[in-house]
Structure 1
Amino acid sequence: MYNSLVKEMLSKISVDDAEILPTQVKYKTNDNFSTVEIYVSKEKISFKVFGDAYITAMAKWLQLKLQANESVKVSLENLIDIFGLPEIKYRNAVQLIELIEKLNER
């Protein structure tokens, strides 16, 4: 089922994660199954996910990395490994990599 990182990230999600400030810039990626939106400003990092538990956990993980001002450089293979994604969920990792690339362009 879900590995410990996925469970940990899901347990850390709160309503405040979806609170969006007018000063935040929106970054979005989507496919036929899910949509991930990250809202970034100096004051706050927020996110919204329309998808499954894996992509939601990955969005929370990304939010925490950005809030800690950590460099987010991760390969597709590494992302698959750290979240223990089943093969059917690899598209979630691809989607998060696309979002990270958009964020790194800013």
Structure 2
Amino acid sequence: MYNNLVKKLLAEVNFEDAIILPEQVKYCVIDNFSVIEMYISEKKISFRVYGGAYMLAMIKWLQNKLQHKADIKKISLQELVKEFELPEFKYRNASQIIELIEKINAAVV
């Protein structure tokens, strides 16, 4: 059901990912079915997700990208769909990640 990337990222998720420091800035995307919260500071990047396995894997992937100072500006919906082999009914999750990336990018500018 899940590809190797999703399985790998789900295995990497740990308790530390949800610990939030006072200096972190919160970025949030909410819809009727899920909530994504990402907290960013120079010291740490944390997240909380209320959603499914694909959502959790994608936010862990984004956390890894940000921790390695990758340029996230060019990440596209198509890239997420392909990378995670998302079924069509999960495209909404990818669009939420793109919305979160846009919020993070807007704050950095």
Stretches of structure 1 lacking an aligned partner (at least 5 in a row): none
Query: How far did residue 78 of structure 1 move?
Result: 1.1
Query: How far did residue 30 of structure 1 move?
Result: 1.2
> CA offsets per residue over residues 34-88 of structure 1, 9 Å max, x none?
1100000000000000000000000000000001111112111111000010001
Q: Counterpart in 2 of 1:38?
A: 38
Query: How far did residue 28 of structure 1 move?
Result: 0.3
Alpha-carbon distance in 1 for matches of 2:63, 2:90: 20
The alignment of Structure 1 onto Structure 2 pairs a total of residues equal to 106
Give identity over the alignment, percent.
Answer: 58
Stretches of structure 2 lacking an aligned partner (at least 5 in a row): none
TM-score by length of 1: 0.98
Q: How does 1:1-106 map to 2 (within 5 A)?
A: 1-72=1-72, 73-106=74-107
Alpha-carbon distance in 2 for matches of 1:91, 1:32: 11
TM-score by length of 2: 0.95
Alpha-carbon distance in 1 for matches of 2:18, 2:82: 27
